[in-house]
Amino acid sequence: MTENPVSLTAYWTLAIRHDDAVSSRPVVGDGLAQRFMSDEARTVADRFQSLTKPNASLLARHRLIDDRLTAELARDPALLVVIIGCGFDTRAFRLGGGRWIEVDEPALLAYKQSRLPVSDAGNDLVRIPIQFADESLEEKLAPYATGNRVAIVLEGVLGYLHDDERRELISTLTRLFPRHVVFCDLPTRTFIARYSRKLVKRIRELGAEFGSSSNTPEALFYERGYRLLNRTSIMLSAGKLGAQGAPPAWFVRRLPSMRDGYCLWALEYSQSLDSAA
């Protein structure tokens, strides 16, 4: 499907959402995930099957972003939503309202189009293929630059980037979209060291790297003038939402490095705020 090993993890997250959708008590309820399931998807997902806590966190993360976007779209049904590294995301088909842009590797988007074409979406949707290693994200997104408020989703993306790559991405977003909110998950260095060693090993087996250089990864956003709107513990939410395999909420509360080490962040950027800073 792709030459980018990070994109292979999209099969893993896809299978988790598929299994959730057919369960008796879905957390996300992504009934469209079955459109993409294949033997290859199941083969990749099987590598991660025993990692029950990471698998539960994926569902909680996806549900939290669903809820944040639903609230944003209720306030502005014409909101532009940009999903970078979209994988098999189906929100443009499941959520009401919005104008959507999905960005990912060409082969992945071609496969996605064959199973769930843009024409089936009830909302406006554009898919933009990009070879992340060789092409400019800024050039790809430049035709859609706007001064209106935009929602940007970086789900499961930043953990695969080095700090310099994160800074470059953040700078690109601030140049193209002077008013936006970013929804992203940011694991800390301690969280990865204590709770994600098996996960990192599985990802390395696929040919990718995953990590964090800091216990305050959000600082890169603050450096550029972002302000915090909301921070939600993904591991605590997994237990509260009843995700299969999630540690109970009382247990997570007793471990601050787990509770606060992997959160969903809502970070807002406004060029006027940045200038004032």
Angle, in degrees to the nearest 10, between helices 52-75 and 5-21: 80
Which is more confidently placed, 136 or 6?
A: 136
Output the average pLDDT for the chain.
95
pLDDT at position 203 is: 94
Give CA–CA dist 200/193, Å, rounded: 9
Mean pLDDT, range 107-111, rounded to an integer: 95
Angle (CA) 127-64-89 rounded to 5° is 20
pLDDT in tens, 63-87: 999 999 999 999 999 999 999 999 9
* Whole-prediction pTM: 0.95
pLDDT in tens, 217-260: 999 999 999 999 999 999 999 999 999 999 999 999 999 999 99
Over 90: is that where the pLDDT of 163 sits? yes
Question: What is the CATH number for 83?
Answer: 3.40.50.150
Instruction: Tell me the pLDDT band of 5, cut-offs 50, 70 and 90.
Output: confident
Over 50: is that where the pLDDT of 49 sits? yes
pLDDT at position 1 is: 53
**Structural contact between residues 64 and 237, judged by C-beta atoms closer than 8 angstroms:** yes
Q: Which two structure tokens, joined as six digits, stand for 159?
A: 């953990």
Q: Give the structural domain span for 69.
A: 5-276
Instruction: Tell me the pLDDT band of 170, cut-offs 50, 70 and 90.
Output: very high
pLDDT at position 123 is: 97
- Residue 156 sits at φ, ψ, to 5 deg, of 65, 30
Angle, in degrees to the nearest 10, between helices 234-241 and 52-75: 90
Residue type at position 165: E
Instruction: Tell me the pLDDT band of 271, cut-offs 50, 70 and 90.
Output: confident
Count H helices and E strands in the chain, helices first.
14, 7
DSSP-derived secondary structure for 173-235: HHHH-SEEEEEEEEE-HHHHHHH-HHHHHHHHHTT-----S-S-TTHHHHHTT-EEEEEEEHH
Q: In total, how many domains does the chain have?
A: 1
pLDDT in tens, 171-214: 999 999 999 999 999 999 999 999 999 999 999 999 999 999 99
Tokens 């007793």 label which residue? 254
CB atoms inside a 10 Å sphere around CB 255? 14
